[in-house]
Structure 1
Amino acid sequence: MQKKLKLWDAVMLVMGSMIGSGIFIVSADMMRNLGSGYWLIIVWLITAVMTVAAAISYGELSAIFPKAGGQYTYITEIFGKKMGFLYGWGLFTVIQTGTIAAVAMAFGKFTAYLVPTLNDAAPIVQNGDFQITWIQILAIGIILLLTYINTRGVQSGKLLQNVFTGSKIIALLGLIAAGFILIDVSHLAENFSLGTQAFQNFDQINWQPIDGMTLMGGIAAAMVGSVFSSVAWESVTFVSGEIENPKKNVVKAMIIGTSAVMILYVLVNYVYLNALDRDGIAFAANDRVAVAASQSIFGNAGTIIIAVLVMVSTFGCNNGLILAGSRVFQTMAKDGLFFKPAVKNNKNDVPSNALWMQGVWASLLCLSGQYGNLLDMISFVIVLFYMITVFGVIYLRIKEPQIERPYKTWLYPITPIIYLLIGTAFCVLLLIYKQQYTWPGFILVLIGLPVYYFINRKKRNSI
């Protein structure tokens, strides 16, 4: 593959893939689970430590295996094809495509703020609970448009990524500044006045104080939102084969990009705590905390400002997800673990067949309306695969200490162990308190096992 992506492009891909719609929404549910500005910020800081620790750890693997496929390649090289396939299976069925669908639907829903007829129009198809709306059609249109743009070559996708990511970073910085300068009545002291006391309220009636293991369960449930908002940074590893000097630039991009985004996320949450009281955050209409905060900052124009910001954010986010994900499926196809046509590059030196396969499946998830449920169920599995990959750093150090390591994980083994400890605590607490976030996604990934054996049986029979 041609090396057309520089360090700056890689950083923009990391940041652009991370910043989608989550940061504008998830803090509402987090506040319902925690009821305290103190704990809201603590959970975002824990997520920040997790994310940056994982990025630092991934850096060592990206330097050892500087080729397309990223996390899929790392898992396959360290733990074998079966484990690599299960990751790739989860990525195609839900993780990447479900995120693309969810982000595209967020684009459609916030567009409906500016074009109310999208909300008011009757469904195109209605059959019981199943329906196809114009917002879904718009979401599919965005997915197919971005897929087409990315088939035109890496330069087209790169330009779009840099412009939209740069725009949303500037807009977020503007929102953060305005959130402290233009607020007439600050709620910051009020939101922090409860100190370490946590509360829960899911019915908008009464806040109940919580502590002990209930608090631990609340933290885990809240982290589902913050973790979801902080994933996809590893997309840059998927395109390692197209990055200049990948042994150095991939790790730099991951560390710079994840650190910058997590700082932005913490500051945006300080804006929410400054602009709104506890109930205003927890029970913002449709969980759109950013809209409520922006209305407090800018008045009636706030809705339009946030709608435009989210449209820019989700458009750029989806471009990064679409650009990167297809490279994994192409690498899987080269290993005989995905549809064979995905191997080929088109005349623009990009995997157009893999792009269209990804785009069509993500579009079908949009039509199903199940992308949100699937993503909730897969949160546990996403962290599980992160943990497997981070553990791979330690395992490879023990198993093959002689391998050349152009970059070594900072503060090894402390950094990967920090991630593994936090990740394990998160997964165990979800297994205990929020099982709806765990076993369905785990089963979905395990369904990949018979698929893997079927593929390998066909390959053996053809020899």
Structure 2
Amino acid sequence: MSTEAKRGISLVTATAVVVANMIGTGVFTSLGFQVGDLPSGFTILMLWLVGGVCAFCGAMCYGELAAALPRSGGEYHFLSRIFHPAVGFLSGWLSVTVGFAAPIALAAMAFGEYFSTIFPHAPATTWSLVMVWLITLVHVGGVKMAARFQNLATWLKVALICVFIASAWIMTQGVPVRFTPLASDTGLITSKPFAVSLVYVMYSYAGWNAAAYIVGDIREPQKNVPKAIALGTLMVTVLYLALNASFLHAAPMGALAGKLDVGHVAAEHIFGATGGKIMSGLICLGLASSISAMTWLGPRVLHTMGEDMSILKPLAACDQNGVPVTGLFVQLSIVITLLLTASFKTVLTAVQFSIQLASFATVVGLFVLRWKQPDLPRPYRCWGYPITPLLFLAISAWMMAFLMLDKESRDASLYGLGLIALGLIIFFISPRTERTA
């Protein structure tokens, strides 16, 4: 094996990064925002299945783009190459400001809520701040340390979920809940609450494209990045369907409705008060894995942008181990600001609109790249093309349209559009040679 092939992280670790990015805040918090308007077990599972199909279709598209355009940076790199540096910059800007920092803040908020049920000696926000600082320091230690922590925390998290699912069905008689369809479910599935609830579900699936952000850290990226994205997405879809069915089986919908810590609520119904606290501690470990994965990815986008634009050059700085330390602490400062100033629901809605918009543009870019550069080497081609990208675009457009029609969601989504406007200003005050490269 060549020296080049030995460098970087393995397919297992790359898949762990994808899984850790996806399984985090959303699946342990979002069900409480869904059951109030969608009081049907079948409809809830359909909601999570639609999210999984959308994520898998997107994963197939990103696999081709990552193999054809192998460089770290994710959407920033893809859109810069396919459309124009301005489009790529805006995507990277969204990734930097909300795409990673906001999900880290959300995961940290959830961590604080769960951890405070075990140790109520300090406010949840305090525990959130402690965790983001600790994880950042782990990543300052280098890629090897981060990879070890990521593998351990991620696969423990997957094991935890499997144990939880088994316990929900073995240790409880369960509550009356229906997982078979009725005629009334058609109206629920085509309703506005279903589309708006899809925001929370797609946030839970966000991270299926994680490996595309660290192409430069992965061995044989043209082969392993598509595999990591596909394997991670399929694994998480199966776990999400089983986990949400277990939540609904273990605890009444009324007990789950409006609760952020739905995992703790369900665990108390399975294991009792003490067991619920133990399970909350294990969920905290899972959330730490998610925070770590996103902490790893965000600074890589900052690093790539800093290499390309002199106005952001300080962000390209790395230490002797190749860790973009400046980017890590810039990201940490944004996370801390969000933890101290914003609510969970506002941050989630704003970030999901922005994430979905960037992914939408990137999948459109798959069609454009095939048209503009049909002879470009493509070690991996999108499975199911053109059906898979069209299905992703259709589901994404449907969700974003409903977000803009719903007043509360629209107000939060406008924050994302405001960030785009600010990004445009920064781009156009940069040197002209960089703007047109």
1:68 alignment partner in structure 2: 72
Residues 1:47 and 2:36 aligned together: no
CA pair 354-440 structure 1, distance change in 2 beyond 3 A: closer
Q: Distance in 2 between matches of 1:101 and 1:458?
A: 35
Mapping 1:101-116, distance limit 5 Å: 101-116=105-120
Q: Distance in 2 between matches of 1:367 and 1:379?
A: 20
Residues 1:180 and 2:169 aligned together: yes
Once the two structures are TM-superposed, the CA of residue 249 in structure 1 deviates from its matched residue by 0.3
Once the two structures are TM-superposed, the CA of residue 110 in structure 1 deviates from its matched residue by 1.4
Give the one of 265, 281, 285 matched to 1:312.
285
Residues 1:429 and 2:418 aligned together: no
Q: Bigger CA drift: 301-310 or 368-377?
A: 368-377
8 Å contact kept, 1:75–1:389:
yes
1:78 alignment partner in structure 2: 82
Residues 1:154 and 2:129 aligned together: no
Which amino acid in 2 is paired with 1:177?
A
1:27 alignment partner in structure 2: 31
Once the two structures are TM-superposed, the CA of residue 458 in structure 1 deviates from its matched residue by 10
Q: For 1:96-143, what per-residue CA distance to the aligned partner results, in whole angstroms no more than 9, with x for missing partners?
A: 111111212221221111111114xxxxxxxxxxxxxxx333322322
Once the two structures are TM-superposed, the CA of residue 369 in structure 1 deviates from its matched residue by 3.2
1:455 alignment partner in structure 2: 430
Q: Distance in 1 between matches of 2:256 and 2:128?
A: 27
Q: Secondary structure at the match of 1:299?
A: helix
Q: Percent identity?
A: 29
8 Å contact kept, 2:346–2:412:
no
Q: Distance in 1 between matches of 2:57 and 2:109?
A: 31
Q: Distance in 2 between matches of 1:232 and 1:10?
A: 12
Q: Secondary structure at the match of 2:104?
A: helix
2:182 alignment partner in structure 1: 195
CA pair 196-440 structure 1, distance change in 2 beyond 3 A: farther
Residues 1:242 and 2:213 aligned together: no
Residues 1:265 and 2:252 aligned together: no
1:144 alignment partner in structure 2: 133
Q: Bigger CA drift: 47-56 or 32-41?
A: 32-41
For normalisation by structure 1, the TM-score amounts to: 0.88
**For this pair of structures, how many residues does the alignment match?**
429
For normalisation by structure 2, the TM-score amounts to: 0.93
Unaligned runs of 5+ in 1: 120-134, 199-209
Q: Secondary structure at the match of 2:72?
A: coil
1:220 alignment partner in structure 2: 195
Mapping 1:248-287, distance limit 5 Å: 248-283=223-258, 286-287=259-260
1:408 alignment partner in structure 2: 381
Q: Distance in 1 between matches of 2:311 and 2:381?
A: 32
Q: Bigger CA drift: 264-273 or 338-347?
A: 338-347
Q: For 1:196-253, what per-residue CA distance to the aligned partner results, in whole angstroms no more than 9, with x for missing partners?
A: 425xxxxxxxxxxx938x9421111111111111102322211100100000100100
1:165 alignment partner in structure 2: 154
Q: For 1:309-358, what per-residue CA distance to the aligned partner results, in whole angstroms no more than 9, with x for missing partners?
A: 22101111111101111111000001106632221221112211211211
Q: For 1:15-68, what per-residue CA distance to the aligned partner results, in whole angstroms no more than 9, with x for missing partners?
A: 011111221111111111212111111110000000011001100000011111
8 Å contact kept, 1:102–1:372:
no
2:269 alignment partner in structure 1: 296
8 Å contact kept, 2:76–2:301:
yes
CA pair 13-185 structure 1, distance change in 2 beyond 3 A: closer
Once the two structures are TM-superposed, the CA of residue 457 in structure 1 deviates from its matched residue by 5.8
Once the two structures are TM-superposed, the CA of residue 384 in structure 1 deviates from its matched residue by 1.4
Runs (4 or more) in structure 1 with deviation over 6 Å come to: none
Q: Distance in 2 between matches of 1:14 and 1:405?
A: 22
Give the one of 12, 19, 24 matched to 2:16.
12
